Structure 1
């Protein structure tokens, strides 16, 4: 479980997160983090959050965000709110780091998703772009379906795939949550 001031890092995508307020601190109302995107970080898969609103405030540097296919630049002092079900991705293509305040409301179990994904990356259990392998992704998508969904394929197809392939993923030794990544 995330605690205030815990730091997690993804060496593949070039992102570091410091939890400021966790689900436990706010009784589930808010997850607040400081996120650092190092220079030339990679664009993650386009995704959306079905029930959560995100607020990003740029504290230092600048960042790219793709919203519904259109790329926008955010600079120091700017903020952006992303409504539920808005397809997006964020990365830093620049030569200097970007630091953001990132708020997620309600928190739900987003911190576990972040800890799991970054823990897998630290342990070398992701591909060159920072995403877990197919069967690992199946379990993550199923377990965290209320906080994270890929833009493609359609959610209906994601549900079918996760239902059909989850038993195989479990048999192969994958888990949706790894306790060693959660403090």
Structure 2
């Protein structure tokens, strides 16, 4: 498990810092800081069965859509997506900084580690999606959620099947090792 203060940097300059993890009266949590140097889409429409996410903008401006409601958040504003809420967001300003709390954390930090490893080893597209379908299946598993739109059973069949194939063939182990070095 990564140490508090660990920073992951994507090729586009997006930095994710592990600020804290633990448990309090509300349960287990993961606290991250995101620094987003350039405007652009950060997450497409998706939802999590168990995870609630809260973002507090410290600098810049982010446009969120949570269950169809659009919210433009600036410094000091907080936005929450409860479990099962479809959410997505775009950074609208340079050098945006936001705090991000995930409850329960499940595999979210591992997702960012895996994803940044893929990105930094050139295994993602310009929009940061994995180039290899097996890697896409593994990333989908780490995010503990679903894309908005496609039926859940279809996502489980396709993405879950790709992740299972990656593990059965040993590709997951090799890819994780390569991503750790990337």
Pairwise TM-score range, normalised by the shorter structure: 0.7 to 0.9
Which runs of 5 or more structure 1 residues have no equivalent in the other structure? none
1:1-183 aligned at under 5 Å gives the runs 1-12=1-12, 14-22=13-21, 25-26=22-23, 29-94=28-93, 96-133=94-131, 134-141=133-140, 143-144=141-142, 147-170=144-167, 171=169, 173-175=171-173, 178-179=176-177, 181=180
CA–CA separation in structure 1 for the residues paired with 2:55 and 2:31: 10
Instruction: Report if aligned partners of 1:44, 1:129 keep a CA contact under 8 Å in 2.
Output: no
Richer in helix (by share): 2
| Secondary structure at 2:63 match in 1 | strand
| Secondary structure at 1:35 match in 2 | strand
Instruction: Report if aligned partners of 2:57, 2:76 keep a CA contact under 8 Å in 1.
Output: yes
CA–CA separation in structure 2 for the residues paired with 1:50 and 1:157: 16
Instruction: Report if aligned partners of 2:135, 2:163 keep a CA contact under 8 Å in 1.
Output: no
CA–CA separation in structure 2 for the residues paired with 1:163 and 1:177: 16
| Secondary structure at 1:76 match in 2 | coil
TM-score by length of 1: 0.82
Q: CA deviation at 1:175?
A: 4.8
Which runs of 5 or more structure 2 residues have no equivalent in the other structure? none
Shift in alpha-carbon separation, 1:166–1:113, aligned structure 2, 3 A: closer
Total equivalences in the alignment: 176
TM-score by length of 2: 0.83
Q: CA deviation at 1:70?
A: 4.6
Higher relative contact order (CA 8 A, sep 6+): 1
